[in-house]
Amino acid sequence: MSQSDHTPTQELLALVTGYVQGVGFRYFAVQSALSLGLHGFARNESNGDVTIVAQGARPALEHLLVLLRQGPPAAEVEEVHTTWREPTEHFSGFHVRW
């Protein structure tokens, strides 16, 4: 058995604030998450923030957090508010939501 067989799936809720809409942030998040084997979604909020819900192994989620704090070149990330929780629903793939 591999290590991942013993790793429980965790869920990360990340609320990204700053100049993060209109700069490809959601697509950056989707690409980053898919490359890490995570499931979930990225969604713009009406106040200009971006919400990311990602599920997977804790090390991959922590790596995603590092990437989210950097963002794509045109973004200016001010803060990433995080909440760790048990998965509440099952996601297949990682997508942009509207």
- Per the confidence metrics, is the pTM higher than 0.85? yes
| Stretch 67-94: mean pLDDT | 96
Dist CA 59 CA 12 (whole Å): 11
Would you say residue 1 has pLDDT above 90? Answer: no
What pLDDT does 4 receive? Answer: 44
Catalytic residue among 43, 44, 69, 97: 44
Return the pLDDT at 6. Answer: 57
At 81, list the tokens.
Answer: 């508010």
For the question of residue 47 being annotated catalytic, the response is no
Active site residue: 26, 43, 69, 97, which one? 26
Annotation: CATH topology of 3-74+91-97 = Alpha-Beta Plaits (3.30.70)
Q: Indicate if 26 belongs to the active site.
A: yes
* DSSP codes joined into one string, 63-96: HHHHHHHH--TT-EEEEEEEEEE---S---SEEE
Mean pLDDT for 72-87 is: 97
Per-residue pLDDT reduced to its tens digit, 35-55: 999 999 999 999 999 999 999
